[in-house]
Amino acid sequence: MSGLTVRGISKRFRGLQAVKDVSFDVPEHGLIGLIGPNGAGKTTTFNLIAGVYAPDEGEVTFGGQRLNGLRPDQVCAAGIARTFQIVRPFGELSVLDNVLVGCLHAEADVSAARRRAGEIVDRLGLGAKRDQVAASLTLPDRKRLEVARALGTKPKLLLLDEVMAGLRPTEVDQMVAFFREINRDLGVTILLIEHVMRAVMALAQYVVVLNHGEKIAEGTPERVVRDPAVLECYLGEEAV
């Protein structure tokens, strides 16, 4: 099977079971949402896929290749790029150079990579800020930069961790349109963690819900938001 398969992965931090026996599939060219309240284990799941941590149990495969035990750069080389929820820009480098670093993964020639970086920067609406140092960007722009940099590596699968947090509704709609476009036109598979339900409902074909490290529901977005177990775990959080 091509695409990403996650089979029974678990991760424990000292006493805390952050992810417990989670399984799901992300079909090739799919657009899948991963949701759940804060501390549910979403980011940890990303880190397990991306090679930041090795799962204590379970297996992750991508396009038939087993990812367990690979380093993050090897996972990237396998065609998976991720963004960081807590953004990690290269602060003293310009916006363009940040994206250039990503592009250099896919393109050895610096000037060709710089051209492509310029196109990506423009597409994400950072064109006017391309020569600014990344440290000077606002948080929403840093989130865009995370996306731009990840796209630079020409990924087959893009892992997006709350990239729309802090965006205004119109900006969310632009981002949604953008992701739909790269999914449809470039065939990039997307797995997205998102708190902004407006985006999840609009984008995701299928949603996986985590709570306390465990998968508690999955299905189409419309079905999942009516699931009593999902509503239950979101109680106390803002209404869905």
Partner 1 sequence: MLKLWLAEVPPRGKLYLALLLAALLAAPLFVDGYLLSVLILVFYFAYLGQAWNIMMGFAGQLSLGHALYFGIGAYTSAALYVHLGVSPWFGMIAGGAFAAAIGAFIGALGFRFKIGGVYFAILTIAFAEFTRILVDHLLFVGGSGGFFLPISGRSSNDLWTLRGAPVMFYYVWLAFTVGVLILCRALLSSRLGYFWLAIREDQEAAQALGIDTFRYKIFAVMLSAALTACGGVLYAFYNNNLFPSAIFSINRSIDMLLGAIIGGVGTLMGPIVGAFILTPLGETMTALVEPLKGLGAKLDGIKQVFYGLCVVLIVVFQRRGVWPWLWRRLGLDRGEGR
Q: Is 111 in the site for ligand ADP (CB under 6 A)?
A: no
Q: Which tokens in the block code for residue 4?
A: 């990403």
How far apart are CB 82 and Mg ion at their closest, in Å?
A: 12
Q: Which residue from 24, 60, 82 is spatially nearest to 209, judged by alpha carbons?
A: 24
**Smallest Cα–Cα separation from 205: which of 229, 187, 224, 186?**
224
SS3 34: strand
Q: According to CB under 6 A, which one of 27, 30, 39, 63 is a site residue for ligand ADP?
A: 39
Q: Does 36 bind ligand ADP (CB under 6 A)?
A: yes
Distances (CA, A) of 200 to 73, 147, 197, 224: 28, 17, 5, 11
Q: Is 54 in the site for ligand ADP (CB under 6 A)?
A: no
Closest CA to 202 of 183, 230, 185: 183
Q: Which two tokens stand for residue 133?
A: 């140092």
Q: Does 44 help bind ligand ADP (rule: CB under 6 A)?
A: yes
Rounded to whole angstroms, what are the CA distances from 13 to 41, 48, 68?
11, 13, 18
Per-residue contact string for residues 132-151; x = within reach of partner 1 by CB under 8 A? -x---------------xx-
Considering only 6, 26, 40, 196, the residue that binds ligand ADP (CB under 6 A) is 40
Q: Which is nearer to partner 1, 108 or 235 (CB)?
A: 108
Give which of 197, 218, 214, 222 is closest to 25, Cα–Cα.
Answer: 218
**Near ligand ADP in 2-31, by CB under 6 A:** 13, 16, 18
Residues forming the site for partner 1 (CB under 8 A):
50, 52, 71-73, 76-77, 81-82, 84, 88-93, 97, 100-102, 104-105, 108, 110, 113, 131, 133, 149-150, 152-153
Residues forming the site for ligand ADP (CB under 6 A):
13, 16, 18, 36, 38-44
